[in-house]
Amino acid sequence: MNKKETNYEGGANLLSDGTVKKLGKITLQAIRIESDLAEVKRVPRLSNGEREDDAQHSYSLAILAPELRIRLYPHLDNDKIQSFANAHELLEIATGDVATFDLTEAQLKEKHQREQQAKEKLMKRLTPELQQNLEEYERQNTPEARFVRAVDKILPVAMDIVGQGVRVVEEDYGVSNLEDLQKAHTDLIANFDRRFGDEFPELVQLYEHLAREFEEKYKEEKAKKPEVKLPERPNQLVEVERKFLIDPESLPFDPEDFEHTTIRQGYLAVSDDGSETRIRDFGNDQRFELTVKSNGTVARKEKNIQINKEVFESLWPLTLGRRIEKTRYYIPYVDPEGDKHTIELDIYHGPSHLNGLCTAEVEFEGRETEATLRADTFQPPEWFGKDISSNPSYKNRSLASHAPHSPMNLSDISM
């Protein structure tokens, strides 16, 4: 091969080696971006139960947006719409997907700030054309950009109908009945109308139609399935929670007025990296669990397995020297943004080094991206004390490891 030109069997001169290398680099760059998009999992589930990824979602948008444009708004520039559809999810390579189904204004603001912080790093990976398309789309100052964003909001509702939407709204958003779903949809439709109704009223009609069609699917599926009692906490892949120190004397209520249960908790194994295996006895409920947790502070991988009393009792002796006992009170709380939470107020008993210790935990539902966003923007009630989420001394495994003959002064725990 000539270093300056390529000639195949007497054909016309083609590209120089330098040009071929440059195009090869661009090709690999495009494939890596596509691969990274495929790694970003979204909330909606496909019909086979797997999470939709950003590459699949972008392809759906690239198909649907031009179809809706030609039928409803033929004056819009189709080339711009295609470009925006291809670029609109690129930021999520750096930030992950955060669904906006039930986020508050504060959480939406935090989401936007995180995206802007990740944007500068991502831009270095994009071609000049992709950079320009993403910048223009993010500015939202053209009708094409606003149109693509509106269609982007429609797609998850459509996927709920085609895929496993009933499972999604129940597992990821805590919807437990048709009335809850209808209320959520009413709020979403109103918000969609506020954002896009003046410019694209036909899309508002489409959004509402699909939302109501999904409600019919929800109603039909729920009629086929018996109610199943859920465990104490949803068995999420990643547990996201914050923990606070509480002064029992400052409580503005009597905890005995709320639902509560006694808990015996023992540790079968605690690794040097902070991962743990524990068993629990929820005395009032006659329920027993074996839990495996990864290391971490606010966000940790977690797997709960229901076990019977016989298995629990056979394992309990193996936890000697690594046990805690407490009463857990379930306190409903609505924060200033209107988000509903259940505060798990724990008052410890037993060994003198723990007796009287009081903490409060709040767990945040959803995938790690949404749950972490909710945790970071959580506004606790005034009676909460110091946030001890990142203090390893207050992890239950740490509290359990201090034997009664070696008491620990709680006031001396490093803050």
User: Of 169, 184, 242, 182, which is closest to residue 215 (Cα–Cα)?
Assistant: 182
In this structure, is the dihedral angle defined by the CA atoms of residues 320, 301, 413 and 333, taken in order, positive or negative? negative
261 exposure class (CB count in 10 Å sphere: 0-12, 13-18, 19+)? middle
**267 is a catalytic site residue:** yes
Packing angle of the helix pair 105-123, 368-377 (nearest 10 deg): 120
The DSSP call for residue 47 is: T
Long-range contacts (CB closer than 8 Å, 24 or more residues apart) made by 253-258: 253/331, 255/329, 255/331, 255/345, 255/347, 256/329, 258/329, 258/330, 258/331, 258/332
Q: Please return the burial class of 104, using the count of CB atoms within 10 Å of its CB with bins 0-12, 13-18 and 19+.
A: middle
List 267, 329, 348, 394, catalytic entry: 267
Q: Is 334 exposed, middle or buried (0-12, 13-18, 19+ CB in 10 A)?
A: exposed
For the annotated catalytic residues, the residue numbers are 267
